[in-house]
Structure 1
Amino acid sequence: MEEKILLVEDEENIRKFTRINLEREGFTVIEAETGELGVELAQSENPLVVILDIMLPGIDGYEVCRILREKVPNIGIIMLTAKTQENDKILGLERGADDYLSKPFNPKELVLRIKSLIRRLEKPVKNTNVITHGPYQLDLYSKAFKKDGVYIELTPTELSIITLFMKNPGRAFTRNELLDLNWGEEFVGDTKIVDVNIRRLRSKIEDNPGKPKYLETVWGTGYRWKKD
């Protein structure tokens, strides 16, 4: 699969700097300077990952992220922001981003984030197992997740997390373990990204997200998937 990256950024110098560094790593880079063009290219060019700035002319990065999750649910999204407020990062994750990086950023760190996300996007070649638990069914090959036979759209990161849980029912994972296993040991960030993704997952798969039946909190530790 061609590792094509869509860079949605309105500042030309940042686009040029980022493109040069990504191309050095062998990525094919497509550029968009507005959110509207980014949405269009994400659908026509089929990039693997979108690097998405929050502050854009026209529709902002939050809205672009929301639209992409509806129209291209399997695409990887990393949001860029010059803002330091925690709420801005959390809002991006809640809109469906897989990861975030604050400006100014080290291009090597961006490359590591992209490669980590691509690993979560890749399909296994030989594993055709299907895991069934309660009303849920997870096809590890096609990466299809269903509840009561109805397909549920999950982001690549959500799918990575649910796969880890369903493969290890009853095991409690700490937030740091979930960071290492899903984002990679090279990830530089705090554990709130885990909590946001868990909250987002519960809203999609649990009958009552406020009182989860399957994706349980283990107080003082982290989270686990309920074991029969």
Structure 2
Amino acid sequence: MKVLVIEDNESVCSMLDMFFEKENFSGKFIHNGLEGYQHFLINEYDLIILDWMLPGMDGITVCRKIREVNKEIPIIMLTAKDSESDQVLGLEMGADDYVTKPFSPLALTARMKAVARRFHKTDEDESQETSVVTVKKETREVFILNKRIPNLTPKEFDLLTFFVQHPKQVFSREQILEQVWGFQFYGDDRTVDVHIKRLRRKIGRDNQPFFHTIWGVGYKFDETVVFNED
């Protein structure tokens, strides 16, 4: 796996480089946001690890600009900012996962592998369809009653695809993390809540949220139940 790491903390980079070598990853480390973005434009990578606070150009801006030219490459935000509002902002700009410092290198590499697997599946020619929602894996497009839904992030697409494949089934946040993100639960399930809220806003119509909260358990996807959510 070729990984671009845009991170200004050289100690973090040295630690990651050591773990990358064990995993047989090829890592390129750049310590300036603007330089990292410019390097990305002329090189190809399988995954990007992006720090939030960077000289030259902050990580949020770098993430947004990368998404303007490439909507598919997985991006993991690596940052000391851990509030829900910060996480929402990172995901809004196109990040697929969010890892807070201090972090476990083993946990990070596990997430990297999981994200890479999600983006390099071999069954992209399949489609999923319900009475309302059509998910086209080959083109990674979503249609609600034949109307295309624009601007879904890669992880939002994966999450919706998973629920469309399992209508009316209730899943805990931990199960969703394992099935969609591909890693075991590490203690912060807010990323699931954030993605569900965003999908509700993007694909919901009238009073139909599709994603329903099952209090004390998790979420389910149901096109037939209509009720007001929080």
**TM-score for both structures, normalised by structure 1:** 0.84
Aligned partner of 2:193 in structure 1 is 195
- What do residues 7-64 of structure 1 show as CA deviations (whole Å, max 9, x unaligned)? 0011233223312321321112122222222223333323221101011013211222
Matches within 5 A, 1:65-80: 65-80=63-78
Determine helix, strand or coil for the equivalent of 1:18. Answer: helix
CA–CA separation in structure 1 for the residues paired with 2:31 and 2:161: 35
Aligned partner of 1:113 in structure 2 is 111
CA–CA separation in structure 2 for the residues paired with 1:56 and 1:80: 11
Aligned partner of 2:36 in structure 1 is 38
1:46 partner letter? E
Instruction: Indicate whether 1:215 and 2:204 are aligned.
Output: no
Determine helix, strand or coil for the equivalent of 1:50. Answer: strand
Aligned partner of 2:143 in structure 1 is 146
CA–CA separation in structure 1 for the residues paired with 2:47 and 2:112: 7
CA–CA separation in structure 2 for the residues paired with 1:34 and 1:90: 23
Aligned partner of 2:166 in structure 1 is 168
Moved more, 134-143 or 161-170: 134-143
Give the one of 136, 159, 173 matched to 2:133: 136
2:54 partner letter? L
- What do residues 122-143 of structure 1 show as CA deviations (whole Å, max 9, x unaligned)? 2224x63322234532123443
Moved more, 116-125 or 150-159: 150-159
What percent of counterpart residues are identical? 37
Matches within 5 A, 1:41-52: 41-52=39-50
Determine helix, strand or coil for the equivalent of 2:109. Answer: helix
Aligned partner of 2:5 in structure 1 is 7
CA–CA separation in structure 2 for the residues paired with 1:86 and 1:74: 24
Give the one of 175, 178, 181 matched to 2:176: 178
CA–CA separation in structure 2 for the residues paired with 1:164 and 1:137: 12
Determine helix, strand or coil for the equivalent of 1:224. Answer: strand
CA gap of 1:176–1:197, structure 2 versus 1, over 3 A, is same
Aligned partner of 1:16 in structure 2 is 14
CA gap of 1:153–1:48, structure 2 versus 1, over 3 A, is farther
Aligned partner of 2:222 in structure 1 is 226
**TM-score for both structures, normalised by structure 2:** 0.84
Matched residues, number: 223
CA gap of 1:145–1:46, structure 2 versus 1, over 3 A, is farther
CA–CA separation in structure 2 for the residues paired with 1:146 and 1:64: 29
- What do residues 163-185 of structure 1 show as CA deviations (whole Å, max 9, x unaligned)? 11111112222222212212234
Contact 1:124 1:141 in 2 (8 A): no
Which 5+ residue runs of structure 2 have no aligned equivalent?
225-230
Which 5+ residue runs of structure 1 have no aligned equivalent?
none
1:40 partner letter? Q
